[in-house]
Amino acid sequence: MKAGSKVRSAIALGSNMGDSLAIFSSAIAYVVATPGITLEAKSSWYKTKAVGPPQPDYLNGCILLQVEMLPQLLLETLLEIENLLGRVRTERWGPRSLDLDLLLYDDLILDTPTLQIPHPRMRERAFVLVPLFEIAPDWIEPVSGYAIKELVKEVDCSDVRPFMGN
């Protein structure tokens, strides 16, 4: 990435503890207050069944960003925002106040011990693909070579419902 160049990035948001809408609003405010990050688009919010241990339904959505930072720094920024807003990691796929997942970073394919881009499970998760389809249907997921609008057809979307509190 050249200095001063902007890269498009997709982030998934999820929450099933506390006031999820207020948490999302705060998270997006923190994201856009970060130097080098501009909000390009925000999806609607969706109510979805939880994956993992028994827990309340989630609210999920996605945002598109223009970023002027390397992916590792973007990930660190997202983790810092999760912590600022009370995220506590106790059990894998357990309930959480906020989850910010780095899904896509331009057409980069990256596999390190701390970061995988594209997100390794995004292609099988309707709760990610449905909101991402809303704001970036033509974005090509670089591992599969398929656009989001094609990937969303391959998953069961029956548990992803528009949240009427949008």
Catalytic residue among 57, 101, 106, 159: 101
Catalytic residue among 99, 111, 138, 156: 99
pTM over 0.85: yes
- The string of pLDDT tens digits covering residues 92-137 is 656 788 999 999 999 999 999 999 999 999 999 999 999 999 999 9
Decide if 156 is catalytic: no
Decide if 89 is catalytic: no
Residue 128 located in a structural domain = yes
Range of the domain at 97: 7-162
Residue 2 located in a structural domain = no
Decide if 138 is catalytic: no
21: CB partners within 8 A, 6+ apart: 45, 59, 165
- The string of pLDDT tens digits covering residues 25-79 is 999 999 999 999 999 999 999 999 887 778 899 999 999 999 999 999 999 999 9
Cis peptide before 131, with omega less than 30 degrees from 0?
no
Decide if 101 is catalytic: yes
Q: How many domains does the chain have?
A: 1
What per-residue confidence (pLDDT) applies to 97? 84
Residue 1 located in a structural domain = no
Catalytic residue among 87, 107, 121, 123: 87
Query: Where does 16-132 show beta strands of DSSP type E?
Result: 37-42, 46-48, 58-67, 99-105, 110-111, 116-117
Report the amino acid identity of residue 13. L
What per-residue confidence (pLDDT) applies to 134? 98
Q: What CATH number is attached to the domain comprising 112?
A: 3.30.70.560
